[in-house]
A and B are shown apart, each in its own frame.
Chain A
Amino acid sequence: MARGRRSAPGLIAALVLIGGLSGACQGASGDQPPDPAVQKVELGRHLFYERRLSVEGNRSCGICHEPALGFTDGFVRAVGSTDEVHHRNTLTLTNVGRREALTWGAGAPDSLEEQLLIPLMGEHPVEMGMANQMDAALDELRSDLIYERLFHEAFPESEDPFTLERLSEAIAAFERTLVSQTSPFDRYVAGEEDALDAAARRGLELFFSHRLRCGSCHAGPDLDQPTEEGEIVARHGWFNIGLYDVDGQGAYPERDQGRFEVTGLQEDRGRFRTPTLRNIELTGPYYHDGSGASLADVIRNYAAGGREVLGGPNPGDGRDNPHKSDLVRGFEISEQEAEDLEAFLRALTDWEMVEDPALADPWPRD
């Protein structure tokens, strides 16, 4: 894409994104709180990184959603406090405050306050493992001078704010501050033409081109929602992208069939939420089960119209999966174009956000 000139698809996409972003920004600025609300966020930050909220003292929300990894953990599939392996890859918390569905398959609570109780106290699988430990943990926090101050400043009306409800309220308040809006892509969309280099600009154009159509699913302010022609407001989407076809009839590996487990509908086999692409450079490995090693692999699979698995435990040709989305059709892409596309995806990394001290771990570490 030449500087100062946008092609039609790029322009449409940019308009959609600008609309979405400005709405999101209004939402964020509208949340500018009075002091107790500020203190609630600060309390939430401390709790987010609090290892005493895991049964073995080795996990916290922030350890498994690490800023340097785009608020993910680097695992293929998450490993909990007791070393139990989760069946899914950890999703980023980038811009989680404006997300409709909070998990890969949904069927889970749709508020942050409720959702965070699942990793905190869930037993299948154990993530932080606090199911039978919360009362003791709250007692311990109550005796900590830092928390004594923070809880009371955040909830001045509460006689005893050391409750699970207040704790989840504070963590959720902090999570809503995990906002990315200063990536090179955001600055480019806002009119700073030099924010993207030539390769990233070419990649942007490819991303929204009719040939690749990445934006058919990855659009909206967080590049996580589908839009259709003429549609300005993005809607939520679930897609089978042809990663597996274990039995020749569309099955995914036994441990995870996606939306099917929520709806029971055959057409929902292998359907998962479209993830945001913000900070995507940092959030690998990819896909719902972490089975995509690199961005290059992911691009290769989309170009092929799905993934053919030749070895390992789940061989089969995902390209032929009968439940695969019609939008995953495959496309021709040269080596140079694939590199440009990657350059654009890297331009979604918001270093200002991931290195923001206000979002960092407040606790001193060894």
Chain B
Amino acid sequence: MRILSTWVSILSLSLFMGACADEKADSSSTAPVADAGNSSVQDAAAGAPDTASAAPDDVTVEDDAGVVLGLGPDDEFAQMGCALLEGEKSNPVAGLTAAEAGQQLIVPSHETGYAITLPESGTGFVTLEVPDWQVVIALFTLEGVEIILHDPDDKAEVVQELSYAAPCSEQQVIEERTKFHKWGGFTMELRGEPGGEVWLAAVDLPLD
């Protein structure tokens, strides 16, 4: 996951995934495909790059830029994100272009996870509707998916770098936490397997 602002790219999962691609020849830059509601995170993860087949407590995976993917916080929000990816999901369809992002809203939730269908191009666009000012939102997905948050007005900053989600790290679930200084709609670009699904949970943390 990464945030694209006008001037700064805060975090680049794509770099990290590039490293994975070098290590794993198959489906490296694609999202695991799963039938929402019928399969599990484990099933989906079986199709994911096997970069963390061991429990990643001591993850030392690095990309060319030396980024190390560590283990995220083991708190109730991580548990929530893992549970949402494990459970039954809503099935939105991503737009084909950034101009179509506003037709599909993703709303942070403690109750709903998403299995978002991508276009055949493998790149889709949705809007993350951020409901409050100064709210931190944890985004969870499966390793192999690239999520780019477009933030042209610099209204967001990463507060917890990309990491494995501690409670479900063995299923290659990754998470990143971003603080949004203002509410509103943020375009999210999703890259995964063409025509496949991107699993996503967006969990908002309590306001300070």
A binding-site residues for B, Cβ under 8 Å: 58, 73-77, 79, 83, 85, 253, 285, 289-294, 297, 309-314
Distance in angstroms between the alpha carbons of A77 and B105 in the assembled complex: 9
Report chain A residues within 8 Å CB of B93. Answer: 311-313
Q: Does B95 contact A (CB under 8 A)?
A: yes
Contact yes or no, A58 B103, CB < 8 A: no
Does B92 sit at the interface, judged by CB under 8 A?
yes
B97 touches A310 (CB 8 A): yes
Contact in complex: A79, B129 (CB < 8 Å): yes
Which of chain A's residues have a CB closer than 8 A to the CB of B102?
76, 285, 289-293
Q: Which of B107-142 contact A (CB under 8 A)?
A: 107-108, 119, 124, 127, 129, 131-132
B100 interface contact, C-beta 8 A: yes
- Extra pairs beyond A85-B129, A291-B103 (14, CB < 8 Å): A76-B127, A83-B131, A289-B103, A293-B98, A293-B99, A293-B101, A293-B102, A309-B103, A310-B100, A311-B95, A311-B97, A312-B94, A313-B92, A313-B93
Q: Is B184 an interface residue when CB atoms closer than 8 A count as contact?
A: yes
Do A75 and B100 touch across chains, with their CB atoms under 8 A apart? Answer: no
B107 x A79 contact (CB < 8 A): yes
Complex CA distance for A76 and B130, rounded to whole angstroms: 10
Interchain nearest-CB distance for A13 vs B (Å) = 29
Q: How far is the CA of A294 from the CA of B101 in the complex (A)?
A: 11
Chain B contact-residue range equals 20 to 34
Q: Could you pull out 19 A-B pairs where Cβ atoms are within 8 angstroms?
A: A74-B185, A75-B183, A79-B129, A79-B131, A79-B183, A289-B103, A290-B185, A291-B102, A292-B99, A293-B101, A293-B102, A297-B99, A311-B94, A311-B95, A311-B96, A311-B100, A312-B93, A312-B96, A312-B104
Interface residues, chain B, CB within 8 Å of chain A? Answer: 92-105, 107-108, 119, 124, 127, 129, 131-132, 182-185, 187
**A to B contact number (C-beta, < 8 Å):** 72
Q: Which A residues lie within 8 Å of B94 (CB)? A: 311-312
Q: Which residues of B contact A290 (CB under 8 A)?
A: 102, 185
Q: Give Cα distance in the complex from A22 to B88, angstroms.
A: 59
Known: A76-B102, A293-B99, A297-B99. A311 touches B119 (CB 8 A): yes
Contacts of A285 in B (CB 8 A): 102, 185
Closest to A69 in B: B184
Cα distance A58–B184 in the bound complex, in angstroms: 14
Contacts of A77 in B (CB 8 A): 105, 129
- Look across to chain B and name the residue whose beta carbon is closest to the beta carbon of A82: B131
Q: Hey, which chain A residues are within 8 Å of B108, CB to CB?
A: 83
